Amino acid sequence: MNIEKESTLVSLIADIGGTNIRLAQATAKLGTNTRDIAINDIETYQCKEFSSLADVVAHYIDVKELNNLAINACFAIACPVDNDLISMTNLPWQFSQNELKQSLNLHSLRFINDYTAIAMAIPLLSEQQKIKIGGGESIAGKPISVCGPGTGLGVANLVPLSLSGNEQWHCISGEGGHIDFAPVNEIEQQVMNFIQGIKKRVSYEQLLSGYGLEQIYQALLFINHGKEITTVEDKLTAKDITANALNATCTVCEQTLTLFCDVLGSFAGNLALIMNSQGGVYIAGGIVPRFVDYLKLSDFRARFETKGRLSSITEQAPTYVITEEQPGLLGAAAFVLQS
């Protein structure tokens, strides 16, 4: 993949969350491989200290003395970006994309979903920024999928395109985390039945997320011991469940994390089948990097590969956990520099 950058333009990138916003500048050597992208002048700001997105970006532009330069901007944000008007979920920030571009005097401005950014970062990752789980080998130029258990279950896919002789990656995002959960054994059926008692519908996100871990724990506590959580003391957070499982201090917590890994393997394998993801399936998000060794010892990879007559597809496709701490910025850089 080749990326060219107009030398007269500054590439401004951002990763915008509900608590923090990270701003930086991206550069790429002319005609070099995508991995030669550099991210410079990273600054992290607390969103609560600014009244609007325009204020924090304008502050960065002032501090870095970029006011008299032409700026191409790409901002990754954790909310829908299809409409001109953007309303952030966890912040009282609402703004028009067109008006923001004009008020900041930007040469160009693109907003992308946070999982689009993570997906765009994948072709740039070095071996030190990811950990391989199990077998399989990536095939160059083939589709790539990513899913990320975190607050929810994010999903995105990359497909290679050739535009005017230039090879680029195009991200196809969606809401794949909300497809119906499909249990593959008796215990998963029982867990689904339990969750159906408290939810109208059971999607994969109901298990593969922070609150999903908590719901699996509640279900197994009831299935194993007939016990329902009735007090604050009985309720464990996803962080507590993970810690107890890794420390082997709670059998139900270990069962919870094991079932989580198994279901994640099945779900990731489904993504590989849907997209024929011979470029690999990547696990992102804030949860799984905390227990990579546990994941390796689980049935994650076996469940990923076990797809009946089409197991050859999943056996070929490699699986990775992303360990890069700033995939949002890296993906925004890739997006703006190949635009």
- Which residues does the annotation place in the binding site? 14-19
> What does the buried/exposed string (b/e) look like for 59-69 if buried means 16 or more CB atoms within 10 Å of the residue's CB?
ebbeebeeeee
Looking at residue 59, its amino acid is H
Residue 124 token pair: 């740039």
According to DSSP, the residues that pair with 22 across neighbouring strands are 15, 44
184 DSSP 8-state letter: -
Among candidates 47, 103, 31, 118, which has minimal Cα distance to 73?
103
Q: Report the binding-site residues for ATP.
A: 14-19
CA pair distance 274, 155, nearest whole angstrom: 12
Residue 73 token pair: 């901007």
What's the alpha-carbon Rg for the chain, to the nearest Å?
21
CA pair distance 119, 157, nearest whole angstrom: 7
User: Residue 238 belongs to what H/E stretch?
Assistant: helix 238-246
CA pair distance 121, 144, nearest whole angstrom: 11
According to DSSP, the residues that pair with 51 across neighbouring strands are none
